[in-house]
Copies of this chain bind each other. A is one copy, B any other.
Amino acid sequence: MNGSRSALSRAITLIESFRPDHQDTAHRILDNCLQHRHDTLRIGITGSPGTGKSTLIEAIGLEILDNPANKLAILTIDPSSKRSGGSILGDKARMEKLSGRKDVFIRPSPSSGHLGGTSPKTHEAILLCEAAGYNIIIVETVGVGQSETSIESMVDYILLLILPGSGDELQGIKRGIMEIADGIAITKTDEASKKSVFHSKASCESALKLLPKKHPAWDPQVIPSSSISGEGIKEVLDSILQFAAFLHGNNLFEENRKKQLNQLFRSQVDLQLKQAFYNHPEISSSFAAIAAKVEEKNFSPLSGAKKLVEKVIRSPR
């Protein structure tokens, strides 16, 4: 809370760890952080690999930092993870105009087992960044991830990036991400023809009309943008700030945050229940044998499951 970046880094490492003693320390740190939060804005940025997430984050980030009151934390997809679809360049080559600045904290988010999506741990990392004084948090994701730990459950605004002429509109609809987007940026317009940018914008706008509305009183904007030429960057940020003002003005901001905290709690209960169960020595020692008997039809999947569960759930007093 005194602004030490290395303390923040170490705290996030503890959060990400699967070691029980690390988790205990992480729990204690988070418990002590929660009361110290201040007004923050959390922005989720999602899009298929190659849509230019890193460069757009850098361009918007520089725009954000034009206001000296802002401190920016960025939770990125770890580019070292092959399956995440992240950049093949090293971390240093990404966002080079931002990394090294004192008002910016960049951290590859844990992608293990989440394929470049978000996990409950990402939500916890956000809480830690906020406690460390960062008032704007950008979370990068490729949008996959289990529904209960979706990007939607941890940020205030979701920006979807669409590469013109790529069929990304279809991908966005397929993954359900277009329904939860609060705004769409058509990216890399400097590399695309005007016609293809126009076509992508029109497809997005008609898809948004077909899909159910996320907020009855908010129409997501579709903004052509380029991190190279600077086209649309200011407009994208303005639209985000406008949306935040809209949420605050309708008392939806705090309500939404409370709901998200409750969701995090519920997903933590399910997660810790599963962890405690599957890491339990009685389960690890008998799971495979019971599964084999089920496959050989010695007993039903129901009976097999019951035998396992009864091994570790304490009988009611």
Contact = CB atoms under 8 A, between A and B. Distances in A.
A281 interface: yes
A261 B145 CA distance: 25
Interface residues of A, number: 57
Contacts of A282: 316-317
A300 interface: yes
Q: Which of A269, A274, A282, A308 has the largest count of B CB atoms less than 10 A from its CB?
A: A269
Given A268-B305, A276-B313, A313-B314, A300 B262 contact: no
Interface stretch (A30-38, A78-86, A104-112, A192-200): A30-38
Contacts of A300: 27, 30-31, 33-34, 124, 127
Contacts of A35: 297
Given A173-B173, A176-B174, A269-B309, A262 B302 contact: no
Nearest to A293: B265
Contact of A261 (B170, B258, B294): B294
A314 B312 contact: yes
A264 interface: yes
6 contacts: A28-B303, A173-B173, A174-B176, A270-B274, A273-B309, A311-B314
Interface of A: 23, 26-28, 30-31, 33-35, 120, 124, 127, 167, 170, 173-174, 176, 210, 258, 261-262, 264-266, 268-274, 276-277, 280-282, 290-291, 294-295, 297, 299-306, 308-309, 311-314, 316-317
